Amino acid sequence: MVEREVRGIRLKVRDDVYDPAEDTLLLLDALEDQELRGKRCLDVGTGSGVIAIRLAKECEFTVAVDLLEAPALLAKENSKINGVYLEVVQGDVLTAFREGSFDVVTFNPPYLPEDPDPSSGITYSWAGGFMGREPLDRFLADLPRVLKVGGLGLFLFSDLNDSEWVLRTCNKKMVCEVVRRRKLSFHEIYVARAQNLPR
């Protein structure tokens, strides 16, 4: 297994788990502005666990979830290499969690508009189904439930997903704004911050 380092986090990588990329780095950048000490944190779609490990360095308690077994196992292994405690579960977006469980929730979802191939787990890292938005839509619909009042979501999306639609949907139940953006070769990616404030 190959090892690499991302922003001071040591990671084992494997062919069937998403290798941290530009989108991962943009979400990590956005975390720099957030107060995490004493918070209960969750990283959805954890992959290698890199974002969850970053959270666990400051949060009081951190959970990581991924749809698939290979990333869930690798995230646990990577947390041990970095000397942080991570509770890792296998599950579909936020369905495994109770109401009001977290202060901070992050998600770097699959966002390309194509269907994943069930015979190839790694395709679930980038293929987000219709408009590239299927996991993100379900995440946004459920986020106000698992966040504490005043809690914060940070999630990534792309102009391939219809950015206005994403922000409009997010703002129906929370207060949402783009806090980071980066142009890549064929599209632009954004990180939005969603605050769970009664509207």
Ligand X SMILES: C[S@@+](CC[C@H](N)C(=O)[O-])C[C@H]1O[C@@H](n2cnc3c(N)ncnc32)[C@H](O)[C@@H]1O
Positions touching ligand X (CB under 6 A) are 18, 20, 24, 44-48, 50-51, 65-68, 71, 92-93, 108-110, 124-125, 135
- Which residue number, 13 or 198, has a Cβ lying nearer to ligand X? 13
Q: How far is the CB of 82 from ligand X (least distance, A)?
A: 15
Spell 145-177 as b/e; 16+ CB within 10 A means b: ebbeeebbbbbbbbbbbbbeebbebbeebbebe
Distances (CA, A) of 168 to 63, 126, 161: 28, 23, 12
Q: How far is the CB of 31 from ligand X (least distance, A)?
A: 11
- Name the region of 114 (left: φ>0; alpha: ψ -120 to 50; beta: rest): beta
- Which residue number, 24 or 101, has a Cβ lying nearer to ligand X? 24
Q: How far is the CB of 173 from ligand X (least distance, A)?
A: 20
- Which residue number, 27 or 199, has a Cβ lying nearer to ligand X? 27
Residue 183 CB partners (closer than 8 Å, separation 6+): none
- Which residue number, 110 or 153, has a Cβ lying nearer to ligand X? 110
